[in-house]
Every structure is written in structure tokens, then in C-alpha cells.
Amino acid sequence: MVPLILFIAIILFCFYYFTRSKKLVLPADSVSINASELEKNVLFYSRLSPEEKKHFEEDVLDFLQRIKITPVNTTITDTDRLLIAAGAVIPIFYFPDWKYYNLKEVLVYNDTFNHSFESAGNNSRDIMGMVGSGYMEGKMLLSKPSLEQGFGNKTDKNNTVIHEFVHLLDKSDGDTDGIPELLLDKQFILPWVDMIHQETKKIVEGRSDIDPYAYTNQAEFFAVVSEYFFERPDLLKSKHPKLYGILHEMFRTPN
């Protein structure tokens, strides 16, 4: 009898200890979701319905619990972490259960950096963000100023965080080629490639308000116009209705 009581006591203790410790242990990068910061800084979030906002906050929390965010020679605030997670959630918000399985860590540099990941010194260091490959596979690099400017400036069409996460989305089919096959029904692939050619022609001829960096290649085109789509949707819709229409199909946005 005594061993049985002892056995039950051990089980109860283990159960208590396990559930108790589970509540106390929080992930290192855990932050509480500050809805007013999202409302203030993230246009996409501010336009969502109350139910969608709740869903967005859950996605942000899930991202912060799964992905490590590491400052490099700098410090970052909870708002910085929140904005990185918001930039990650925006492109995939209408894809239920989508996760960035190809990402483990986001490194935040104090300034723009070069291809050797140096953010100090006199070498050319004009990179604002980058998706790592090779030995940097699974990592994303962001510069802190571009993170702050991306969400802080409400009248430009740029957001480096969204740009880099769109590259990751593009990469999920194996190629960062500007043709996100997982997002795009086969019927839209040819019209999309055709659209890229038409719009880059206008950029080259100086007849477009799309950032000329989009002309670099198809992958950059996709990332740049996606920034425009999420940062200034109304402007894109009025200036480039066809481009807006195809991005709306791709990202499955409701309106």
C-alpha cells in the first residue's frame, strides 16, 4: 500500500511541477504583443477587422516564439522585434498554416552592411537586408535603420522587412526567381511573367513610379512591387491596376 501511495504522490508532484514550470518558462525572445504599437506603425494591421487583428497578433506571437532575433553590435527593442514579426506575417497572412520553415534566425545589424556582413569600416556596405544562403542558410540579415524607416515612413513604397520575407516566400519552391510557384496558380504564371516584362520596360523608359531596383531581376521585381502593394495599396491600385490585380490574387487579399 505504501509504495502505491508513494507512486501516486510522485505522479501528482511531477504533474504539478511540469505544468507549473511550463507556465513560468517563456522563450528567450518572448514579448507581449503591443497592439497599439501595431496600430501606430503597421498600416496592414490597422486596416484589418477586429477578428483579423486577433489572428494577426497570434501569428506575430507564433513567429516570435519560433524564430530567434539576434542584435549584432546593436540593441533592439520589443517594438523592433514586433515590427520584424509583423513584416514576416504580412505577406503570408492569408495563407492559413503557412510557416517560414526555411528560417531559423534574424540578425539585426546596427547599420547597412556589405557582402562580408560587415556593418562598420569604409568598404562599400549598402545592403539593407538579405536572405542568407550557403553557410548563412536559414538566416535573414536586416539593418536596424531600414527596419525603422520601413515602418516609420508612411508615404514611401519601401519596406525592407517585407521585401526580405517576400524573397523567403519566393525561395520556398526551391528558387528565388520572382515566380512564387506555391502562391501562383499555374494559370497565372504566364500573365505574371508577361507583367514583369511590361512593367520593367516602363521602368527602363522612365515611365514608372516603381523603384528602379525592381529592374535588377525578376526576384527583385517581385519583392519591390510586393513592398509597394503592402505599403501603398491604394496608390498601386490606381497607378497599376493590372499589377495590383495579380498581386491581390497571389497574396489572396480580400479586397
Point out which span in 22-30, 39-47, 49-57, 219-227 binds Zn ion (CB under 5 A): 219-227
- The answer to whether the CB of 113 falls within 8 A of the CB of 141 is yes
* Closer residue to Zn ion, CB minimum distance, 39 or 175: 175
Instruction: Please tell me whether residue 127 binds Zn ion under the rule CB under 5 A.
Output: no
Which three cell numbers mark 205?
523608359
Q: Taking the complex as a whole, how short is the minimal distance between the CB of residue 217 and Zn ion, in angstroms? A: 9
Point out which span in 46-54, 65-73, 199-207, 214-222 binds Zn ion (CB under 5 A): 214-222
Residue of 166, 169, 223, 247 interacting with Zn ion (CB under 5 A): 223
Q: Taking the complex as a whole, how short is the minimal distance between the CB of residue 38 and Zn ion, in angstroms? A: 25
| Helix/strand/coil for 20 | helix
Instruction: Please tell me whether residue 103 binds Zn ion under the rule CB under 5 A.
Output: no
Instruction: Count CB atoms within 10 A of the CB of residue 119.
Output: 18
Point out which span in 39-47, 103-111, 150-158, 223-231 binds Zn ion (CB under 5 A): 223-231
# chain residues binding Zn ion, by CB under 5 A: 2
Q: Taking the complex as a whole, how short is the minimal distance between the CB of residue 219 and Zn ion, in angstroms? A: 7
Residue nearest to Zn ion (CB): 223
What's the one-letter identity of residue 241? P
Q: Burial code of 203-236, b = ≥16 C-beta within 10 A, e = fewer?
A: beeeebebbeebbeebbbbbbbbbbbbbbbbeeb
Which three cell numbers mark 221?
521585381
Q: Taking the complex as a whole, how short is the minimal distance between the CB of residue 107 and Zn ion, in angstroms? A: 16
In angstroms, rounded to a whole number, what is the distance separating the alpha carbons of residues 86 and 89? 5
* Closer residue to Zn ion, CB minimum distance, 108 or 223: 223
- The answer to whether the CB of 45 falls within 8 A of the CB of 67 is no
Q: Taking the complex as a whole, how short is the minimal distance between the CB of residue 178 and Zn ion, in angstroms? A: 10
Beta strands across the sheet bearing 68-72: 68-72, 105-109, 139-143, 129-131
Q: Which residues bind Zn ion (CB under 5 A)?
A: 220, 223
